[in-house]
């Protein structure tokens, strides 16, 4: 579920306290603060892409050879002298810098 940012609407029109809340996309936007009852408006913010959590998750996925093979990737390991031997996948058994 997405996390939405809301801001309290003060009587003088100035921005107030901001808070985050997890809601389903199908839910209507809040009009009142869930605890204080003050009027609020939803704030549009940039999406969080490439966060540390995602980077760590991607690193873990890249180490899962079975998952990579199931996704159709081919993995090679360096054998020396510019040659790489296929560990898994559908590519050629060996690739070389001379090819």
Tokens of 44: 């549009």
pLDDT tens-digit map of 61-82: 667 888 888 888 888 888 888 8
Mean pLDDT within 15-26: 90
Residue 79 near residue 85, CB atoms below 8 Å: yes
Q: CB within 8 A of 4, min separation 6: which ones?
A: 20, 21, 22, 23, 29, 42
pTM above the 0.75 mark? no
Spans of all domains in the chain: 3-43, 52-96
| C-alpha to C-alpha distances, 23 to 3, 7, 26, 70, 93, nearest whole angstrom | 6, 15, 8, 34, 50
Token representation of residue 37: 């009852």
Dig out the tokens for 3 from the structure: 């996390």
């Amino acid at each position: 579920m997405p996390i939405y940012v809301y801001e309290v609407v003060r009587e003088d029109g100035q921005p107030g306290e901001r808070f985050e809340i997890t809601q389903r996309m199908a839910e209507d936007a809040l009009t009142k603060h869930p605890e204080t009852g003050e009027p609020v408006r939803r704030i549009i913010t940039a999406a969080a892409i490439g966060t540390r959590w995602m980077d760590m998750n991607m690193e873990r996925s890249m180490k899962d050879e079975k998952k990579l093979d199931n996704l159709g990737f081919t993995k090679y390991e360096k054998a020396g002298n510019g040659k790489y031997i296929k560990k898994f996948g559908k590519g050629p058994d060996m690739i070389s810098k001379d090819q």
